Amino acid sequence: MTALAPSRTLVVAAASRHGGTCEIADRLAWTLENDLPLGWRVIRPDLTDLQVLDDADAVVLGSAIYYGRWMRAAARALAYLKDAPLFDLWLFSTGPVSDVESENAQIISADSMVEAGQAIEHKVFGGRLDTSRLSWVERTVVKAVHAIPGDHRDWDEVDEWAHHIAQKLSVVPGTDGTTDISGQDAVR
Ligand SMILES: Cc1cc2nc3c(=O)[nH]c(=O)nc-3n(C[C@H](O)[C@H](O)[C@H](O)COP(=O)(O)O)c2cc1C
């Protein structure tokens, strides 16, 4: 029997300055790759070429938060996706969230995409503040805003979210209503 090529593509991409958010995206991609039924492929590109999003059936897009905003590469990708045809879109942010409302502008705008039906969910994960990796300017800023150094990422929470996404993607609408494609018919 000839193995069928994967017919659906999930893109997992993220913007990161010091690597902590990339590691979350790597973990999400790995868990999703293991969880998703046959017929799906998971790709984990960087955000330099946004055309990679054109062929995606589903996207998980994330960013570290700096100065209350998503990083430029992720914000560009988000804007690009706003013009794309509707598909399954999940968003995530990392960073110990500031309690200053105005500093959370981008998180709020990501949430408004969820409200508008463009994204399914926006998840906020704890981030990693490793002061040994920071520039002098960054260390000064972090001190000024009283951010708490350390690794605040919760890998169980990351895995749980990946399982949740995989579950949603495993069910596709069929002609007779809902169809589960997690069976053995398709070949990865
Ligand atoms: C200079 C600086 C500014 C930051 N600003 C914010 C912020 O406004 N809100 C927030 O929740 N986290 C903020 N953080 C925390 C980062 O989002 C967090 O450390 C994140 O996990 C870093 O991800 P990365 O390792 O992928 O770059 C800031 C960190 C630094 C160093």
pLDDT (0 to 100) of residue 105: 67
pLDDT at 3 over 50: yes
* Cα(110) to centroid(ligand 1), Å: 17
Residues 105, 48 contacting (CB under 8 angstroms): no
pLDDT (0 to 100) of residue 16: 97
* Cα(127) to centroid(ligand 1), Å: 7
* Cα(95) to centroid(ligand 1), Å: 5
**Could you give phi then psi for residue 142, rounded to 5 degrees?**
-60, -40
Establish whether residue 153 lines the binding site of ligand 1, counting it when its CB lies within 6 angstroms of any ligand atom. no
In this structure, the number of other CB atoms found within 10 A of the CB of residue 142 comes to 16
pLDDT tier, 4 (very low <50, low <70, confident <90, very high otherwise): low
Establish whether residue 141 lines the binding site of ligand 1, counting it when its CB lies within 6 angstroms of any ligand atom. yes
pTM of the model: 0.88
Establish whether residue 142 lines the binding site of ligand 1, counting it when its CB lies within 6 angstroms of any ligand atom. yes
Residues 186, 38 contacting (CB under 8 angstroms): yes
Give whole-number Cα distances, 35 to 23, 50, 140, 162, in Å: 18, 26, 42, 8
- What are the tens digits of pLDDT across the range 98-107? 555 666 666 7
Amino acid at 16: S
Establish whether residue 18 lines the binding site of ligand 1, counting it when its CB lies within 6 angstroms of any ligand atom. yes
Average pLDDT, integer, range 119-142: 90
Picking from 69, 36, 142, the residue whose alpha carbon sits closest to that of residue 12 is 36
Establish whether residue 128 lines the binding site of ligand 1, counting it when its CB lies within 6 angstroms of any ligand atom. yes
pLDDT tier, 40 (very low <50, low <70, confident <90, very high otherwise): very high
* Cα(130) to centroid(ligand 1), Å: 10
Structural domains in the chain, sorted by start = 8-180 (3.40.50.360)
CA distance 26 to 12: 8
**Could you give phi then psi for residue 78, rounded to 5 degrees?**
-65, -40
